[in-house]
Amino acid sequence: MARRTKEASDQTRRDIIAAARREFARRGVSRTSLEQIARAAGVTRGAVYWHFADKQALFDAMRDEVRLPIVDFLDIGGAGAPAAQGKDPLDWIAILLEGVMTQLESDPLTRETWDILSFRCEYVEALLEELDAQRRSHAEFRDLLLPAYRRAAEAGLLRPDLEPAVAATETMVFMTGLVRVWLVDDGSTLVRQGWRPLIEGHLRAMRATPPSPEPPFRSAACPSST
């Protein structure tokens, strides 16, 4: 009996979080009340308070259900880091960036939560902590890319006029913008159907231009003897 009661309580908690995510996405965080969330979840307001002290606690629980690439962390193992030993570091970065977009494309919870954090939040009062966390995470993403760009520079693969730190920052900014545009591109007219060529083009612009092959050596023609 106790086990069934706990399972029912856990399910109610999950239902409330799911309802909160839907309501936050539809109304925005600041315009959503616990009463609206309770109705959407099919529970009483008291049930919501049983599981969550306030809306901030519920927001945090919704946020903690997913781990967002760039914002939270990058699963380097999943991106093929062990196999990257000896790999072109710019190719490894491409794998990493494609992993971010693939997760966004394939996981509805990631997509909806990222949309809420990007467009449905007013970052004031308690939510300022979340904004500070995002700033730190973007810096960590840049720092994750930096060693790969340094290896590319050492191997002569990075444009000689481009500092690795600048390249890492450019890629962090590029991906932040790509994700935001992808989220608003509901009609698939901008980037949803074509993000891979954008990543390829971004990294191609970072790459050193290979030297032009020298023309084959030709000996001067000897004058014919008469």
CA dihedral 105, 108, 111, 115 (to 10 degrees): 140
What pLDDT, on a 0 to 100 scale, did the predictor assign at position 81?
46
What pLDDT, on a 0 to 100 scale, did the predictor assign at position 219?
52
- CATH 1.10.10.60 segments of the chain: 9-64
SS3 for the chain, per residue?
A: CHHHHHHHHHHHHHHHHHHHHHHHHHHCCCCCCHHHHHHHHCCCHHHHHHHCCCHHHHHHHHHHCCCCCCCCCCCCCCCCCHHHCCCCHHHHHHHHHHHHHHHHHHCHHHHHHHHHHHHCCCCCHHHHHHHHHHHHHHHHHHHHHHHHHHHHHHCCCECCCCCHHHHHHHHHHHHHHHHHHHHHCCCCCCCCCCHHHHHHHHHHHHECCCCCCCCCCCCCCCCCCC
Q: pTM of the full predicted structure?
A: 0.80
- CATH 1.10.357.10 segments of the chain: 82-206
What pLDDT, on a 0 to 100 scale, did the predictor assign at position 129?
87
* Class for the domain spanning 82-206: mainly alpha
Contacts of 35 (CB under 8 A, 6+ apart): 45
What pLDDT, on a 0 to 100 scale, did the predictor assign at position 133?
85
* Euclidean distance between CA atoms 225 and 53, whole angstroms: 104
What pLDDT, on a 0 to 100 scale, did the predictor assign at position 134?
87
What pLDDT, on a 0 to 100 scale, did the predictor assign at position 226?
46
Q: What string of pLDDT tens digits covers the 226 residues of the chain?
A: 666 788 889 999 999 999 999 999 999 999 999 999 999 999 999 999 999 999 999 999 998 888 777 766 555 444 444 344 567 999 999 999 998 999 899 999 989 999 999 999 988 888 888 889 889 889 989 999 999 999 999 999 999 999 999 999 999 999 999 999 999 998 889 999 999 999 999 999 999 987 666 666 555 555 555 4
What are residue 158's phi and psi, to 5 degrees?
A: -95, 145
What are residue 207's phi and psi, to 5 degrees?
A: -80, 145
* Class for the domain spanning 9-64: mainly alpha
What pLDDT, on a 0 to 100 scale, did the predictor assign at position 213?
65
208 touches 159 (CB < 8 A): yes
As given in the structure block, the two tokens for residue 221 are 């023609």
